[in-house]
Amino acid sequence: MIGRSPRGGSAATWSGLAVCALALTGLVANALPVPTDPGPVRAGAAAEPDPYCSPGSDAADTAARAAHTRVADPGADAAEGVEVTPEQAAEYEDQLREALVPLRGHELAPPYTVPVVVHVISAEDGRGDVSDRRIQEQVDVLDQAYRGEYALGSEGTDTGFRFELADVTRNADDAWFRDFNRYRDTIRSRLRQGGPETLNIYTTELESGLLGYSTFPQDYPDKPSQDGVVIAHDTLPGGERDRFNEGHTGTHEVGHWLGLFHTFQNGCRSPGDYVDDTPYEREAAAGCPKGRDSCPDLPGEDPVTNFMNYSDDACMTHFTQGQTRRMIEHWVAFRGGDARV
C-alpha cells in the first residue's frame, strides 16, 4: 500500500505485503490501516510528523495527518499490518540475489509491454464505478511515468517498461466495495488474470488514509492468486482525493509490484533502499518540501520528488537509473522477463 521493504516472518508468509498507496505504505499487499484521522497517507507512511516542513504549511499539515495513520489489522496474521522491517527487506534482497545467480553474464532487459487488467469494484448505487476513460488515463499515467516523461531535466530516466490495457472487469457489490480488505483474498482469487507478467489492478473504496497497496515479485510463487495492486478509486486521474488524484498512487504501487522499496527504507542507515543513486532519507516526505535533508551527514538532499516517496502527486516526477536496474532485475528474476547472452 505501499520505500524499502517487508515485515517480520518468512517471505512465504507475507501475502504480498507491499502496501504503499499514495498515502501508501508501499509494502504489504495485505496491510490494513486503523484510521484515526481522515488525512491521506500512503500505506506505511511516516510514523511522526515531518520536522523539516515549515509549521503551518500545507506540507506540515499533511505530515501531521499522516502521523496518525497506521497500517494495521489486529485480526490478521502477525506478519501483516506493519511496514517492512530491515530484516524483512534483507530477506527480499537475498531472494533476489539468489534468483539472479543463474543469470550472471546475461544482459537483462525489461519487457516491451506489461499487460494491465483493471478490476473495478464498485457499490451497487454506482459509487466507485470509474469510467473507461479514467481507467485508460491511469494506464497512460503509468506509461508516461515509466517512460520518464514527468522528469525535470536530467533527474529521471526511461525505465523501459511500457503498459497496455488488456481488459477491464466490473463488479458491483456493496460488501466488497465497503470492506475490500475483508474480502480481498476471495476477490483477487476469483478475478485475477494472467501469469506473473500481468499487472492486475483493483480499484475500490479504501479506509480513510489508505491510498493503495501492492504485492512484491518475491510473493508470487507462494500466492500467485493474490499478486497485484489495490488502489483507492478516487486516486485515479480526475478523482476526488485532494493532492492524490493525478494517478501516481498507481505509479508508486506498481513500483512495489516491480520490486522497489520506499526511498526512506532503513532511514539513514545502510543499505537504505538498496539503490545507490537515491539519497538516504530518514522518513517519508509529505507535501512537497524544498531542500529537505533528513540525513545531513550523508550525501544528497532527500529524494522528495521520487515516485517511491510519499509526496503529493504533483510533486512526484521520476525514477532513477538505479531503481530502473532494480525493477528490471526483479522482472527477469520473478516475472519472466528476457535475459540475453
Would you please indicate which residues are annotated as catalytic (active-site) residues? 253
Helices (H), 174-320: 174-178, 180-191, 248-257
Pair 263, 306: CB distance under 8 Å: yes
Strand order from edge to edge, sheet including 229-232: 163-172, 114-122, 199-204, 229-232, 212-214
Spatial distance between the Cα atoms of 34 and 40, rounded to a whole number of angstroms: 12
What per-residue string of b and e applies to 35-54 under the rule 16 or more CB within 10 Å gives b?
Answer: beeebbbbbbbbeebbebbe
Please name every residue paired with 71 in a beta bridge, in sequence order, or none if there are none.
33
Residue type, 5: S
- 59-63: long-range contacts at Cβ-Cβ below 8 A with a sequence spacing of 24 or more? 59/285, 59/286, 59/287, 59/288, 59/289, 60/286, 60/287, 61/287, 62/243, 62/286, 62/287, 62/312, 63/286, 63/287
148, 318 contact by CB (below 8 A): yes
Q: Which amino acid is at 26?
A: G
The conformation of residue 299, written as its DSSP 8-state character, comes to: S
Is residue 333 a contact partner of residue 327, using CB atoms and an 8 Å limit? no
Residue 199 CA to residue 113 CA, distance in Å, equals 11
- The Cα-based distances of 174 to 30, 79, 122, 265, 321 in angstroms read 20, 28, 7, 36, 43
According to DSSP, the residues that pair with 231 across neighbouring strands are 203, 212
Which DSSP string corresponds to 31-58? --B--SS-S---TT--SS--TTSPTTSH
72, exposed or middle or buried, with CB in 10 Å at 0-12, 13-18, 19+? Answer: middle
